[in-house]
Structure 1
Amino acid sequence: MRRDRWSLSWRIWLAETRGWGRNIRFAVNRGLALVLTGYVEGDVIRHTEIFALLRALDLPVSHTVTVLDQMGIFEDDSQPSFERWLAERLEGLAPGIRSEAERWTRVLRDGGPRSLPRREGTVWLYLNRVRPALLEWSNPYDHLREVTRDDVLNYIKTLHGHQRHDQLVALRSLFTWAKRSGLIFRNPTSRIKVGQYEYAVLQPLAPEQVDRSVAAATTPATRLILALAAVHAARVAQIANLMLDDLDIGNRRLTIAGRVRPLDDLTLKLLLDWLEHRRSRWPNTANLHLLINNQTATKTSRASNHWISASMRGQDAILERLRVDRQLEEALTHGPDPLHLAEVFGLDEKTAMRYADSARALLKQGAEQQLR
């Protein structure tokens, strides 16, 4: 690695392309001075070697790592968050059950010869749902093959409603995989009916609940976030993942999760207000995500789900309820047609039918009340 790559002018160029301010550039230079002390050609600087040092001095780890990575001398040997979470969730299980549950969890995440990989959020849910049962069975047993049908029946007797449904679905996934992999002789969950989970009728938000959330949105970012949830039924993660390229102001279109939506007057105004604020607040940012903040303006990563939803936290009409309310409103206004809902919002069949069923029940209740 030639030393001219480390020159001040090169670092200034990198800082400018990333939109780093004076304070960040100063802190990164301090961090580089520390971690490059004693560096010789051919050395590799590892994450575990510098993380504690930089954190102790309150120096920016991610920005320093960006420079080291650009220089080609960085190796990320940090433990992925999934690995930390997995080790924590498997804690307390009998060794044999722990090993089998770990293999199943990895197959869920990575896929296998006869299974597609699941989303990481789904993997978390499944392991979290089977963990209480596995902890209970880890006292008398060492392996999944020792768990009997009676053990499963006795365990699910203590569960009700969606809790019983969700845990039994996850347990069936685990034992079906174990049987297919030759780890157990028979599946103890076979012929145990999961049953149809009865969802409650979705209820619309009251006008005063929505009004309080609108009053809580006091910045250009939060007003836009609220509109994306309440008008376009966008999920928190979808809002965080929006890019500047998803906007087509000239043709009044916005692409959310791959679906093109027309821009109404309100959302268009809030978008233009936010873009003007974004330009004046962070004129040199290199982050191409639509919504950025003080932390992400100097990076290229998206804002966290926590930051996106923070302004509505504590309100009755949080972003998720606003999203649900928008879809329910569509079903009530245009009729409980699941095909229409699936087309407008990109819903899967079951979800669209749930909204349609709720709208049908609410319309029936309203008609009955008028007759009285």
Structure 2
Amino acid sequence: MNRGLARLLTAYVEGDVIRHTELFIPLRALDLPVGHIVTVLEEMGIFEDDSEPSFERWLAERLEGLAPGIRSEAERWTRILHDGGPRSLPRRVGTVWLYLNRVRPALLEWSDRYDHLREVTRDDVLTHLKALHGHHRRDQLVALRSLFSWAKRNGLIFRNPTSRMKVGQYEYAVLQPLVPEQVNRAVAAATTPATRLILALAAVHAARVAQIGTLMLEDIDIGNRRLTIAGRVRPLDDLILKLLLDRLEHRRTRWPNTANLHLLINNQTANRTTRASNHWISAAMRGQAATLERLRIDRQLEEAMTQGPDPFHLAEVFGLNEKTAMRYADSARQLLLASPGETPGGTVRDAE
């Protein structure tokens, strides 16, 4: 970082501004840390970010190949989803990506014979959906309904071709518990203090990857044996307490002077104050049958099968919404009816 700053500031004169387009290519060519250098320049008040936002590059790529009229209408709709409007709040970037990606196959197909959305008929939509099945059909219909409803409200089309098209209730499969061999292999793959703690948080407290990543040191109360995950206070059992103490000792030894207050840090985030990425947190379990998400699901299913398929209990213990709690309860009920007297086969505590 010092090398990069020396290179950039050698000819610096008071009042100058250093722009992203000026520093990115030369620093990247020398394999210097652009992100850290930009942080220092921002603190000095001499940095100007003139780079093209990633959303703009993505949007231009996704709209490529569409007829000009359809492209213009799809772009306006996507920007409303992204930025919000007079009667709508902005959506999350991930939601915007999903919606445009889902309507793109249909828009590409219609661009071969139409110039504007107002030319698309109900038969065109039905013909396109006929080739789709299951959640693919449902997801594309939801996105198309959003697009055409927006176009109708803004006077871009005369009639909404997706009106009265029923999305239907999505039929979920019965959730299945993990088997002991799958849990054992996941435990064997967790070979560091961080990965062992991550696995236990998912398997014992049903914590999501993002919730694990945002845990702060202040969320741990060793004296009272409590842990706060996503605002909910959980008791610390002996297993989690031991894994927490192991991880804290490793952290103190490895990065004694870090200013990062997140519980889980790595070589990159130890020099910052940001959280570790979801990719890093889930890396050790990637490729395993018992991924962190499967372990989280298995824990909630185990609770429903051992304590009874009561959605109110599940909602209280894990903070689930009504529909999700009912899904776990329904799956547990069907599993108990199919195999009375049996409970899920493997847990992290058993493997330990």
- Normalised TM-score (structure 2): 0.93
Deviations 1:227-274 (CA, angstroms, capped at 9, x unpaired): 111111111122112222222222222222222222222112111111
SS of the residue corresponding to residue 227 of structure 2 reads strand
Structure 1: how far apart are the matches of 2:9 and 2:201?
45
Structure 2: how far apart are the matches of 1:79 and 1:197?
39
1:149 aligned partner: 122
SS of the residue corresponding to residue 290 of structure 2 reads coil
1:9 aligned partner: none
1:101 aligned partner: 74
Report whether the alignment pairs 1:209 with 2:182.
yes
**How far does residue 354 in structure 1 lie from its aligned partner after superposition?**
1.1
Match of 2:141 among 168, 173, 182: 168
2:347 aligned partner: none
Letter in 2 for 1:134: L
Deviations 1:1-27 (CA, angstroms, capped at 9, x unpaired): xxxxxxxxxxxxxxxxxxxxxxxxxxx
2:295 aligned partner: 322
1:59 aligned partner: 32
Query: How many residues are treated as equivalent by the alignment?
Result: 342
**How far does residue 105 in structure 1 lie from its aligned partner after superposition?**
2.0
Report whether the alignment pairs 1:178 with 2:151.
yes
Aligned residues: percent identity?
A: 84
Structure 1 unaligned spans of 5+:
1-27
Structure 1: how far apart are the matches of 2:242 and 2:75?
50
Deviations 1:40-89 (CA, angstroms, capped at 9, x unpaired): 11111011110111110111111111211111101122223333322222
Structure 1: how far apart are the matches of 2:76 and 2:323?
30
Deviations 1:112-158 (CA, angstroms, capped at 9, x unpaired): 22223322222222222112111111211222211111111000000
**How far does residue 91 in structure 1 lie from its aligned partner after superposition?**
2.2
Structure 2: how far apart are the matches of 1:120 and 1:252?
38
Report whether the alignment pairs 1:342 with 2:315.
yes
2:43 aligned partner: 70
1:261 aligned partner: 234
- Normalised TM-score (structure 1): 0.88
1:89 aligned partner: 62
SS of the residue corresponding to residue 255 of structure 1 reads strand
2:161 aligned partner: 188
1:228 aligned partner: 201
Letter in 2 for 1:309: S
Structure 1: how far apart are the matches of 2:72 and 2:321?
35
Structure 1: how far apart are the matches of 2:228 and 2:110?
48
2:217 aligned partner: 244
Match of 1:121 among 83, 94, 118: 94
Which shifted more, 227-236 or 107-116? 107-116
**How far does residue 368 in structure 1 lie from its aligned partner after superposition?**
10
> In structure 2, do the counterparts of structure 1 residues 252 and 85 end up closer, same or farther at CA, with 3 Å as the change threshold?
farther
Match of 2:243 among 259, 264, 270: 270
Structure 1: how far apart are the matches of 2:91 and 2:311?
26
2:336 aligned partner: 363
Report whether the alignment pairs 1:293 with 2:266.
yes
> In structure 2, do the counterparts of structure 1 residues 88 and 258 end up closer, same or farther at CA, with 3 Å as the change threshold?
farther
SS of the residue corresponding to residue 118 of structure 1 reads coil
Which shifted more, 98-107 or 151-160? 98-107
Letter in 1 for 2:312: L
Structure 1: how far apart are the matches of 2:68 and 2:261?
46
Which shifted more, 241-250 or 308-317? 241-250
Structure 1: how far apart are the matches of 2:31 and 2:112?
45
Letter in 2 for 1:56: A
1:37 aligned partner: 10
SS of the residue corresponding to residue 5 of structure 2 reads helix
Structure 1: how far apart are the matches of 2:18 and 2:317?
50
2:21 aligned partner: 48
Deviations 1:302-356 (CA, angstroms, capped at 9, x unpaired): 1111111110011100111111111111111111111221121121221111111
SS of the residue corresponding to residue 320 of structure 2 reads coil
Letter in 2 for 1:253: R
SS of the residue corresponding to residue 280 of structure 1 reads helix
